[in-house]
Amino acid sequence: MAWNLFGLADLVLAGLLWVMTSPGPLRVFATTPTSELLTGFPMAIVLTFLVPLSIALHVVSLRSLQLAKARRPGAPALASS
């Protein structure tokens, strides 16, 4: 479970760094080269498809781990909504 949380934090940090190094009003760090290359094809696929897919897979994995932990004998039951 800790690796999933670490992976989610890594994705969030990568997104924040991308925004803070992109040319525009939210730019905080003036770096060379900028992250402008990620806005063109084929690198834009990473931002528009692979990052959301990675986040979804981390969330599904965390949910699966929670359910497996709840199904173990002697484990307290999860409250269902």
Taking the C-alpha atoms of residue 7 and residue 15, their distance in angstroms, rounded to an integer, is: 12
3-state SS class at 73: coil
Q: How confident is the prediction along the chain (81 residues), in pLDDT tens digits per residue?
A: 888 899 999 988 988 888 888 888 888 888 787 777 777 888 888 878 888 899 999 999 999 998 888 887 765 656 655
Taking the C-alpha atoms of residue 60 and residue 64, their distance in angstroms, rounded to an integer, is: 6
Tokens of 15: 């997104």
Taking the C-alpha atoms of residue 73 and residue 7, their distance in angstroms, rounded to an integer, is: 29
Taking the C-alpha atoms of residue 39 and residue 47, their distance in angstroms, rounded to an integer, is: 8
3-state SS class at 80: coil
Contact yes or no for 54/60 (Cβ under 8 A):
no
